[in-house]
Amino acid sequence: MATCFIIGAAGKVGQKLTRQLSSKGHTVTALHRKPEQAEILQAAGAKPVAGDIQQLSVTALAELMTGHDVAVFTAGAGGAGIALTNAIDGEGLKLAVAAAEQAGVSRFMLVSAFPDAGRGKTPSEGFENYMRVKRLADAELVASKLEWVILRPGTLTDEAGTGRVHADLAIPYGEVPREDVAATLVGLIENPAIKYQIIELTKGDQQIDVALQRLQRG
């Protein structure tokens, strides 16, 4: 069983991930910003830890992360503006990577953005900035000393997960339920042989464990 530290645990994917990991016997520490989120995360099976990645220092976050096997960064500004996107999706990721390195948390999972997001539409300044920041965050993690995996889901939906996905290094763009994104992250956490890969994800026809098998590298 893994000990997991989730940044962005109170988000829609984060809560589902927390619940799924806990139900399978993994130990979850859930970083949250708002006091009222603690009870929700505790009910999902996590140990809630208060902290704001916009305020924490590298050392303070590293102290919270020490003793964990894997960190998952699924935090995001959610379209709340350029400044907040830069602070959370950009600087927040840099902070988390540095803290994980300092804390000795070797494995790091990042929920990023599918490169085809928004294609065919007229992008706003905020969306262009979002994609730029996400790309730089990916590069920041790849350049680190961590054993990283970057997951790029397609358009996120709230429909029920099916447990069936299309996951590979490059796939056509599409939608994917948040529940299946969380389940894929669980699969990645449970398969440490999958590392140093950028994986694109949509809904599909393969069971998640089967889809991830071909991505394993010993």
85, burial (CB in 10 Å: exposed 0-12, middle 13-18, buried 19+)? buried
Sorted by sequence, the CB contacts under 8 Å of residue 117 that are 6+ apart come out as 131, 154, 155, 173
The DSSP symbol for 111 reads E
Catalytic residue flag (residue 196): no
Pairing of strands 47-50, 197-203: unpaired
CA gyration radius, the chain: 16
Q: Which of 95, 130, 140, 184 is catalytic?
A: 130
Of 148, 126, 130, whose CA–CA distance to 139 is shortest? 148
Of 98, 112, 25, 21, whose CA–CA distance to 65 is shortest? 98
- Helix or strand (DSSP H, E) at 200: strand 197-203
Q: How many CA atoms lie within 13 A of 76 on its CB side?
A: 17
Q: Which residue is associated with the tokens 């990042």? A: 110
List, in sequence order, every residue forming a beta bridge with 152; answer none if it has no partner: 200
Residues with a catalytic annotation lie at: 130
